[in-house]
Structure 1
């Protein structure tokens, strides 16, 4: 689910629940395929009777293979999201600001286009771009989590309210002493 939300931060319209759900479903299918591939690879390495000799060990190894596949996929989706969010106009603007600020530092004012000034400015711009991408990822993930939780909370409130209404006649009888 988390990998799907990470992918949705850059590839879906965040205010379109159907678009986010479609991206999440594609990511889930991809991760499930990765898990199946990891299981097949593990099973190909194990002798046919090896699984039957220690079923708990085989189950643990299969679970570990699935976990590794999920961790690798999640890391890859995160790297991809950061790269894509680093190309947004917001990240570009921050990178340009950091570049200019670094070139205007006192020690580079005499030669703002010198090799040292340009290298320092480029390094500052890259760092600003990366920070902005991380910030965008965090804020967009939070927005998606809030949106995902909202229907769940509304449904929980609706269930609680309907349960209270269903109990109302019994409560009325108790209060009236009947």
Structure 2
């Protein structure tokens, strides 16, 4: 679920629970396919007569490792995408200009040393904004998930069932 939330931070409208849920479900499906493929590769590499009780542990590790790799890749991609937002770009431009305006570059703000230093400052600022956006958006998604879980658990089953029982059946439903 964490990998899906990381992907949703840049690819979904965080105010729309349906799009967030769709992104998370898509990522979960992709991860399940990757895990299945990794486990199949592992089992093909093993001697069929050599399978023992350690096989289950090894398969669990393969699954865990696949998810860890996917999470790291999704985080890199999210940081890249969030680094292209208007907020990140504006901060990068401010850092670039600030660095060029340093006293030691005042006589040649477009010289190679000034441009190199300004570019490095801009890249650093862009990365920091991307990290900040990722952290803030993940926190927002976690809070939304906690609120949904809390609200879903707050309604007793008796109330849910009575609402469902009161709904009319479709015309084509036969018993």
TM over 0.5: yes
TM-score by length of 1: 0.86
Question: Residues of 2 paired with 1:50 and 1:154: CA distance?
Answer: 49
Q: Which residue does the alignment assign to 1:48?
A: 48
Q: Which residue does the alignment assign to 1:176?
A: none
Q: Which residue does the alignment assign to 2:84?
A: 87
**1:51-130 aligned within 5 A:** 51=51, 54-55=52-53, 57-130=54-127
Question: Residues of 1 paired with 2:155 and 2:36: CA distance?
Answer: 39
Find the structure with the greater CA-based Rg.
1
Question: Residues of 2 paired with 1:106 and 1:7: CA distance?
Answer: 42
Question: Residues of 1 paired with 2:45 and 2:148: CA distance?
Answer: 45
**1:26-41 aligned within 5 A:** 26-41=26-41
Question: Residues of 2 paired with 1:117 and 1:124: CA distance?
Answer: 10
| DSSP-derived class of the 2:48 partner | coil
Q: Which residue does the alignment assign to 2:2?
A: 2
Q: Which residue does the alignment assign to 2:21?
A: 21
The answer for unaligned runs of 5 or more in structure 2 is: 160-175
- Once the two structures are superposed, what CA deviation does each residue of 1:42-84 show, in whole Å capped at 9, x if it has no partner? 0011011111xx22x1111111111111011111111110000
Alpha-carbon shift at residue 36 of structure 1 (Å): 0.4
Runs of at least 4 residues off by over 6 Å: none
Alpha-carbon shift at residue 154 of structure 1 (Å): 2.2
Question: Residues of 1 paired with 2:40 and 2:155: CA distance?
Answer: 44
For this pair of structures, how many residues does the alignment match?
A: 158
The answer for unaligned runs of 5 or more in structure 1 is: 163-178
